[in-house]
Amino acid sequence: MWAMIVKEFRQLRRDRRTLAMMIVMPVILLVVLGYAASFDVKTVTVAVSGPQASVVAGLLRSPSFDITQIAPGQGRTWAQDRLRDGNDQMAVVTGGTKPLVLIDGSQLFAARAALTYLAALEHRFSGAPGAAGGGTGSGLPVTPKVVILYNPGLTTSDIMIPGLCGVVLVFVGTIITSLGVVRERQSGTLEQLAVMPLRPRDVFLGKIVPYFAVATVDLAIVLAVGVAIFGVPFRGSPAAFALGALMFLFVTLGIGVLISSVSQNQGQAIQLAFMTLLPQVLLSGLIFPLSSIAAGVRWIAYLLPLTYFNEISRGIMLRAEPIASLWQPFVFLAVLGAVVVTGATLRFRAYLAPAGRERGRKAAPVTQGAAA
Amino acid sequence: MTGAESGQVTWGATELFVSHGRTVALRGVSLSAPAGQVTAVVGGDGAGKTTLLRCMAGSLAPGSGTVRRPPKERSGYFPASSGIYEDLTVAENLDFRANGYGLPRQVGRDRAAEYLERAGLSAASGRLAGQLSGGMRQKLAVIAAMLHHPDLLVLDEPTTGVDPVSRSGLWWLIARAAAEGCAVVLATTYLDEAERCTAVLVLDEGTELVSGSPEQIVAAMPGVLRAVPFKPEGEAAARAWRRAGRWRRWDPLSGQDTDQAPVGRGGVITPDLQDAVTVAALARQVGQDSDPGPAVLAGQHQGGAA
Amino acid sequence: MTSLAGCAEVTKQFGDFTAVRDVSLLVQPGEIVGLLGANGAGKTTLIRMLLGLIGTSRGRVELFGEPPSRQTRSRLGYVPQGLGLYDDMTPAENMQFSAAIFGTGAVGALPEALGRYAADLVGSLPLGVQRRVAFAQALAHRPDLLILDEPTSGVDPLGRARLWETIAEAADGGAGVLVTTHYMEEAQECGRLVIMADGRVVAEGTSAQIVGSGHVVRVDAESWSKAFGALERAGLQVALAGRGLRVPGADPGAVRAALGDLPATVRQVPATLEERFFELTAQSEAA
């Protein structure tokens, strides 16, 4: 197996472009995706209802809020419908003891922006109600009540970054390893490997280890970038995180090798790799919470290594979860790893294991006598 | 020797120099390809055969030297990576070629049918080219190159790696093209094929090793050749090689009369083309420092009928 | 004496297609066996079974007296048609890789003549040099059985002679060699020949034994292309051999008549291996 690893490293070293891609691409991807994920919302659209609608509209008047409707005759139901139908991102219902602010949590970034801007205007509500215009004497009660609809947890970019680290590694790891075996097949060296006294397992591990080393470096870089640029906290145990990350990498690279071993050419391998990438990005809980994914396809999420890596990385980095409470994702990653290794080894056995043993172990040895 | 045919045009190249980056692929190589005859360019991989043929086909411009070739539509080229569409059928590939060269539909069909028949490909005409065996694909590519009856047919190793049965089919096509008056230039590594060509140019590392008719090349071989049962010892080992389970040993005679070792005595044999070419290569290798002698001589001085 | 490689009545079917039928073949130590056959005759399938790359449908394959296994592979040297070298590694690195896998410890030395290429990438070397590297790699672990698939394709005559020298040296050292070739001249280097057609062994023995006492008519004309045309028109089956034409299975008188007044000598000569090969292949197709 050592010979395979040395060989792969040598080839990897020669293939400067791939190596550069493995190191640089993750950082670029993370920065781009990270910024994309935390872009600013400049203006939040607001509908105001209830008897004091115009007063509140006056209070909210600022570049940050775009007041689309002032409807003194309407109530909470109307406001909620405005949000549900996607007409506005925020709605204020007056007429109760406190003004009620409704925010559409499913519009993640707008919702976060709305909260921020609201906080900035808080003095208008609390400070001098009379001075704020209107001055009808009805007097606005201090501090509105805020209710976030549809996504009360308000996933933040803190939550995006740990997951994005995983996405980046999935991209790089799967695509690059998916070419490894195909290249050998196309250049005819796979047949030579097949007649050498190698075990299928040697070939599989030999293919993985070098990329594993590079991907580990990648992971460290990506993590450092995440913490440095995006200020993601790292609260939990680095050792537990490392264990989860390595298991995740192993599965990811293993999938790449498995793809490679079932592909006839590099084009096929890349296509297959993308087929595994898209569901990982969309269904792993990174963008949509698992609970919001329709049950019909949710089972797919549970087959994806990124799903478990997301749980582990969020748990450890943000909530400092101990490994004991994360045992489930760890176990599932281990199971996936076992499945991938078995699959790849079986595929390799089809090429590499000596055949012809299966039948006819009877009669005299052929190597004597049959000379007639 | 074939006076009636040699009255026609002779294509060819004079003093070609070609370099790819820092490596020189051809150094002062000349070739002449008379109409109605087959001219062989012989050499191992890297000898410069493909470069010379690409110059003849017009797909590569030489650094210096001149190429005499018919206009593009009057020449046919079979590149080493045969230009056949794998996802078209045999018939579709030939249709495409015939159209491309502006052949009337029926003429193209008739010729294709005849060539396919003689090359043993008729049964495969509906098959996808990608599904053909190596030899069949080579035959298809040669047919495609000669379908429009070019004046010059340039074939780059059509028979390498092809089994003997397909090889004989290919040679039928080549003989047919020459019989129709086409000048055929053919690269090969097989000397039994070179032997049936009117003229042979042997290349080695981008330069001419020997050239002339097969008879001229054999006659110009310097020294004597012996067949011996075992590999010679000592210094002579470098001048010996294995052939058909026995050994050939070449002794250069420094300017002496070669008649002192007549054929039949002391194992001395009459060389064939393969022996003569091997000797030329040896002479260059062994005597890099000494005078390579007449091994590099073109043989033209012998002229006439061999 | 135990053979190095052997198969007894081996058959291989791919679906409905029978690639190899009832083939028995032995390779003894020190012997060079040439495996000849047209494309599709079953040579490659047979070799792949001997290597243990694919199983048999019926019959048995044995290497060194046992079924193919990881142990038998370490005694095997194989040079495929595509050479199986890593283009993006140097010859030395290729040799190290193979040495490490075969566990020979000491890395096989590159032949002296290849020394100057040791640091270049294999992909940048001329094919002839690559071939010699592949040979050196296959021979480095001193295999007892050497399997070579068209080992000299694309090599110049001197290079070809030198490769055969290497093969013969390995055989003299006691290794058994099984080699395929399309080149009949080269078949003469083999001690024994096995000719396959349509999945079967159709002839076996020395070149002389296989050729037997067959005769053909040889025509040496001033212009072979004219003679070729004349004989073709007469419906005779003509093959080119060197500059001469050879007409198998024809009567010299009929050939003379077909040539008309073309200047040519017509004589009966012993058949060559290639002609016998065509005959065997054609018979097998007809059957």
Render pLDDT for A131-187 as a digit per residue (tens, 0 to 9): 344 444 445 555 777 777 665 555 555 667 777 788 878 887 888 888 888 888 887
Maximum average pLDDT range among A169-183, B72-86, C28-42: C28-42
Are residues C242 and B168, on separate chains, in Cβ contact within 8 Å?
no
Q: Which of C74, C72, C66 is nearest to C140 (CA)?
A: C74
Q: Please, what's the b/e burial string for B187-223 (b: 16 or more CB within 10 A of its CB; e: otherwise)?
A: bbbbbbbbbbbbbbbbbbbbbbbbbbbbbbbbebbbb
- In the sheet with B10-20, reading across from the earlier edge strand, the strands are B23-34, B10-20, B64-68
Can you tell me the distance from the alpha carbon of B37 to that of A221, in angstroms, rounded to the nearest whole number? 68
Q: Which of C188, C205, C175 is nearest to C30 (CA)?
A: C175
pLDDT value at residue A133? 41
Nearest CB neighbour to C67, from listed A188, A191, A357: A357
Can you tell me the distance from the alpha carbon of B82 to that of B129, in angstroms, rounded to the nearest whole number? 11
C150 plus C244 within the same structural domain:
no
Q: Which of B276, B258, B255 is nearest to B266 (CA)?
A: B258
CATH of residue C83's domain is 3.40.50.300
Which chains contact B through at least 3 pairs of Cβ atoms less than 8 Å apart? C
Q: pLDDT at residue A56 above 70? A: yes
Can you tell me the distance from the alpha carbon of A54 to that of C271, in angstroms, rounded to the nearest whole number? 112
Confidence band (pLDDT; 50, 70, 90) for B302?
Answer: very low
Tokens standing for C235? 């419906």
Helix (H) or strand (E) holding B226: strand B224-228
Domains of chain B: 3-212 (3.40.50.300), 215-297 (no CATH)
Q: pLDDT at residue A109 above 70? A: no
Q: What is the chain A residue with the closest CA to C102? A: A197
Maximum average pLDDT range among A130-139, B116-125, B247-256: B116-125
Q: How many residues does chain C have?
A: 287
Q: Which residues, in sequence order, are CB contacts of C221 under 8 Å at separation 6+?
A: C227, C245, C259, C262, C263, C264
C192 plus C130 within the same structural domain:
yes
Q: pLDDT at residue C137 above 60? A: yes
Q: pLDDT at residue B269 above 80? A: yes
Are residues C224 and B163, on separate chains, in Cβ contact within 8 Å?
no
Q: Averaged over B143-162, what is the pLDDT?
A: 89
Q: What is the chain B residue with the closest CA to C186? A: B244
To the nearest whole number, what is the mean pLDDT of chain C?
86
pLDDT value at residue B217? 94
Confidence band (pLDDT; 50, 70, 90) for B289?
Answer: very low
Give domain status of residue C275, yes or no: no
Are residues C89 and A7, on separate chains, in Cβ contact within 8 Å?
yes
C229 plus C204 within the same structural domain:
no
- Put simply, whether C82 touches A (Cβ < 8 Å) is yes
pLDDT value at residue C107? 59
Q: Which of A80, A106, A108 is nearest to A93 (CA)?
A: A80
Q: Which residues, in sequence order, are CB contacts of B228 under 8 Å at separation 6+?
A: B240, B246, B247, B248, B249, B267
Are residues B164 and C239, on separate chains, in Cβ contact within 8 Å?
no
Q: The whole model's pTM is what?
A: 0.75
Phi and psi torsions of B270, nearest 5° = -80, 125
Q: How far is A350 from chain C (nearest CA, A)?
A: 9
Q: pLDDT at residue B306 above 70? A: no
A216-251: per-residue pLDDT in tens? 888 888 888 878 877 777 878 889 999 999 899 889
Give domain status of residue C277, yes or no: no
Q: pLDDT at residue B303 above 50? A: no
Lowest mean pLDDT among A352-361, C39-48, C144-153, C234-243: A352-361
Can you tell me the distance from the alpha carbon of B30 to that of C132, in angstroms, rounded to the nearest whole number? 30
CA distances from C77 to A195, A197, C109, C185, C278 (A): 8, 11, 16, 24, 31
CA A278 to chain centre: 10
- Beta carbons of B206 and B48 less than 8 angstroms apart: yes
Query: A60 versus B117: which is more confidently predicted?
Result: B117
Q: List CB contacts (< 8 A) between C83 and chain A.
A: 188
pLDDT value at residue C182? 87
C248-265: per-residue pLDDT in tens? 878 888 898 888 888 888
pLDDT value at residue B155? 93
Can you tell me the distance from the alpha carbon of A124 to that of A252, in angstroms, rounded to the nearest whole number? 53
pLDDT value at residue A158? 64
Of C194, C210, C226, which one is at a domain's C-terminal end? Answer: C210
C224 plus C201 within the same structural domain:
no
Q: How far is B125 from chain C (nearest CA, A)?
A: 18
- Beta carbons of A165 and A313 less than 8 angstroms apart: yes
Lowest mean pLDDT among A28-42, B18-32, B231-245: A28-42
Tokens standing for B259? 């008649």
Tokens standing for A209? 């280890």
Q: pLDDT at residue B165 above 90? A: no
Q: pLDDT at residue C20 above 90? A: yes
User: Strand, coil or helix: what is A65?
Assistant: strand
Q: pLDDT at residue C201 above 50? A: yes
pLDDT value at residue C162? 87
Q: pLDDT at residue A346 above 80? A: yes
pLDDT value at residue A98? 76
Place of tokens 């078949």: C187
Q: Averaged over B241-255, what is the pLDDT?
A: 82
pLDDT value at residue C174? 92
Are residues B43 and C156, on separate chains, in Cβ contact within 8 Å?
yes
C144 plus C245 within the same structural domain:
no
Identify the burial level of C193 via C-beta atoms within 10 angstroms of its C-beta, where 0-12 means exposed, 13-18 middle and 19 or more buried.
buried
- Put simply, whether C40 touches B (Cβ < 8 Å) is yes
C48 plus C189 within the same structural domain:
yes
Q: Averaged over B25-43, what is the pLDDT?
A: 92
- Beta carbons of C97 and C39 less than 8 angstroms apart: no
Q: Which of C19, C30, C2, C50 is nearest to C180 (CA)?
A: C50
Q: pLDDT at residue C71 above 80? A: yes
Tokens standing for C260? 């008309």
Which chains contact A through at least 3 pairs of Cβ atoms less than 8 Å apart? C
pLDDT value at residue A361? 39
Give domain status of residue C283, yes or no: no
Lowest mean pLDDT among A156-165, B141-150, C96-105: A156-165
User: Strand, coil or helix: what is B33?
Assistant: strand
pLDDT value at residue B2? 40
C101 plus C150 within the same structural domain:
yes
C251 plus C153 within the same structural domain:
no
C221 plus C86 within the same structural domain:
no
Q: Is the ipTM of this complex over 0.90?
A: no
Nearest CB neighbour to C74, from listed A4, A191, A197: A197
Which chains contact C through at least 3 pairs of Cβ atoms less than 8 Å apart? A, B
C100 plus C182 within the same structural domain:
yes
Count CA atoms closer than 13 A to A15's CA, side-chain side: 20
pLDDT value at residue A105? 67
Are residues B44 and C38, on separate chains, in Cβ contact within 8 Å?
no
- Beta carbons of B48 and B29 less than 8 angstroms apart: yes
pLDDT value at residue A297? 78
Can you tell me the distance from the alpha carbon of A137 to that of A307, in angstroms, rounded to the nearest whole number? 55
- Beta carbons of B252 and B222 less than 8 angstroms apart: yes
CA distances from C210 to A93, C31, C149, C207, C226 (A): 103, 18, 22, 5, 32
DSSP per-residue letters across A169-203: HHHHHHHHHHTHHHHHHHHTHHHHHHHSS--HHHH
Confidence band (pLDDT; 50, 70, 90) for A35?
Answer: low
Q: How far is A253 from chain C (nearest CA, A)?
A: 22
Q: List CB contacts (< 8 A) between C183 and chain B.
A: 190
Can you tell me the distance from the alpha carbon of C35 to that of C13, in angstroms, rounded to the nearest whole number? 20
Q: Which residues, in sequence order, are CB contacts of A103 under 8 Å at separation 6+?
A: A83, A89, A90, A111, A114, A115, A146, A147, A148, A149
Are residues C86 and A6, on separate chains, in Cβ contact within 8 Å?
no
CB pairs under 8 A between A and C: 129
Q: Which of B35, B1, B13, B49 is nearest to B188 (CA)?
A: B49
Nearest CB neighbour to A3, from listed C2, C67, C100: C100
Q: pLDDT at residue A106 above 70? A: no
Confidence band (pLDDT; 50, 70, 90) for A356?
Answer: very low
Are residues C67 and A194, on separate chains, in Cβ contact within 8 Å?
no
Q: pLDDT at residue C270 above 80? A: yes
Q: Averaged over A284-291, what is the pLDDT?
A: 71
Q: Which residues, in sequence order, are CB contacts of A232 under 8 Å at separation 6+?
A: A157, A158, A161, A162, A226, A317, A318
Give domain status of residue C276, yes or no: no
Q: Do chains A and C touch (3 or more CB pairs under 8 A)?
A: yes
pLDDT value at residue A281? 80
| Residues within 8 A of C (CB atoms), B 153-212 only | 157, 160-168, 171, 175, 178-179, 189-192, 195-196, 204
Give domain status of residue C280, yes or no: no
Confidence band (pLDDT; 50, 70, 90) for A298?
Answer: confident
Query: C116 versus C195: which is more confidently predicted?
Result: C195
Phi and psi torsions of B127, nearest 5° = -85, 150
Q: pLDDT at residue B174 above 50? A: yes
Number of domains in chain C: 2
Can you tell me the distance from the alpha carbon of C181 to that of C38, in angstroms, rounded to the nearest whole number? 10
For residue C242, count other CB atoms closer than 10 A to its CB.
19
Q: Averaged over B131-137, what is the pLDDT?
A: 85
Give domain status of residue C286, yes or no: no
Of C210, C239, C258, which one is at a domain's C-terminal end? Answer: C210
Of C178, C210, C242, which one is at a domain's C-terminal end? Answer: C210
Q: List CB contacts (< 8 A) between B178 and chain C.
A: 225
Pairing of strands A100-104, A145-149: parallel
Q: How far is B187 from chain C (nearest CA, A)?
A: 11
Q: Which of C38, C18, C37, C9 is nearest to C178 (CA)?
A: C37
To the nearest whole number, what is the mean pLDDT of chain A?
76
Can you tell me the distance from the alpha carbon of B213 to that of B6, in angstroms, rounded to the nearest whole number? 15
> A44-149 sits in which CATH class?
alpha beta
Report the percentage of chain A scoring pLDDT > 90: 5
Q: How many residues does chain B have?
A: 306
Q: Which residues, in sequence order, are CB contacts of A300 under 8 Å at separation 6+?
A: A279, A283
Pairing of strands A90-93, A100-104: antiparallel
- Determine which of A181, A184, A367 to mutate to test the interface with C (most C C-beta atoms within 10 Å): A367
C51-69: per-residue pLDDT in tens? 888 889 999 898 888 888 8
Are residues B2 and C242, on separate chains, in Cβ contact within 8 Å?
no
Confidence band (pLDDT; 50, 70, 90) for B52?
Answer: very high
CATH of residue C221's domain is 3.30.70.860
Q: Which residues, in sequence order, are CB contacts of A15 under 8 Å at separation 6+?
A: C88
- Beta carbons of A52 and A194 less than 8 angstroms apart: no
Q: Averaged over B229-256, what is the pLDDT?
A: 82
Q: Do chains A and B touch (3 or more CB pairs under 8 A)?
A: no
Q: Which of A357, A204, A202, A365 is nearest to C53 (CA)?
A: A357
Place of tokens 């003569």: B276
Q: List CB contacts (< 8 A) between B171 and chain C.
A: 239-240
The boundaries of the domain holding residue C224 are 215-270
Can you tell me the distance from the alpha carbon of B156 to that of A62, in angstroms, rounded to the nearest whole number? 79
Confidence band (pLDDT; 50, 70, 90) for B256?
Answer: low
Q: Averaged over B265-270, what is the pLDDT?
A: 82
Q: Where are the domains of chain A?
A: 44-149, 156-352
Tokens standing for C213? 């006492």
C236 plus C117 within the same structural domain:
no
Can you tell me the distance from the alpha carbon of A73 to that of A354, in angstroms, rounded to the nearest whole number? 83
| Residues within 8 A of C (CB atoms), B 35-54 only | 36, 42-47
Lowest mean pLDDT among A146-155, A178-187, B16-25, C27-36: A146-155
Lowest mean pLDDT among B3-17, B53-67, B131-145, C270-284: B3-17
Q: pLDDT at residue B63 above 70? A: yes
Lowest mean pLDDT among A66-75, A267-276, B138-147: A66-75
Q: What is the chain A residue with the closest CA to C54? A: A355
- Beta carbons of B204 and B258 less than 8 angstroms apart: no
Give domain status of residue C240, yes or no: yes
Phi and psi torsions of C17, nearest 5° = -90, 125
Give domain status of residue C285, yes or no: no
Phi and psi torsions of A336, nearest 5° = -60, -45
C189 plus C51 within the same structural domain:
yes
Q: List CB contacts (< 8 A) between B45 and chain C.
A: 126-128, 154-156
